[in-house]
Amino acid sequence: MIRSMTAYARRDIKGEWGSAAWELRSVNQRYLETYIRLPEQFRSLEPVIRERIRGRLTRGKIECNLRFELDASAQSSLILNEKLAKQLVEAGNWVKMQSDEGEINPVDILRWPGVMAAEDKTWMPSAPS
C-alpha cells in the first residue's frame, strides 16, 4: 500500500550501447497529472509509459524523465529523408518565386527537423517490460 505520494527515484544504466538515467518524481495531488520527457528516439514509448503509470496510480503529479546518451563508438549511419528534402526545396523555390529575396541554402534544408537522422544499427528502443 502506498502511504505517501512524495517520492524521488533515479536509476542509472550503462551498457555497451551507452548510458541512460531515469528520474521519477511524485508529489501529492488530487488528480493524476503525468509529465513525461523522453529523447526523440523514444517518443513512441510515451503512450506505453503513460498507461503503465495510469495502471498503478490514480492521483498525484508524476514526472518521468529519461536522459539517454549513445556511446560514440556505437556504429551508426546518417539517413537522408529524400522525400522531405525534396518537398522543402520545392517549397523554398516557390517562396523564392513569390519574392526575389534570398536563396535556398542546402545546409539549412539538411538542418530541418526530420531530414537527417542517425540510424543505430546495433540497438533500438523497445517497450519497457
Q: What is the pLDDT of residues 46-58, one digit of tens each?
A: 999 999 999 999 9
Pairing mode, strands 116-120 and 76-80:
antiparallel
Give the Cα separation of 112 and 116 in Å (integer): 8
Predicted TM-score (pTM) of the model is: 0.55
Q: What is the mean pLDDT of residues 97-106?
A: 68
pLDDT band of 77, cuts 50, 70, 90: confident
Which residues face 116 on adjacent strands?
A: 80
Q: Tell me the pLDDT band of 123, cut-offs 50, 70 and 90.
A: low
Are 10 and 23 within 8 A, CB to CB? yes
State mean pLDDT over 102-115. 71
Q: 3-class SS at 107?
A: helix
Q: φ and ψ at 60, to 5 degrees? A: 110, 160
Residue 84 reports pLDDT greater than 90: no
- Considering only CA atoms, give the Rg of the chain: 21
Cα separation, 6 vs 86, in Å, equals 50
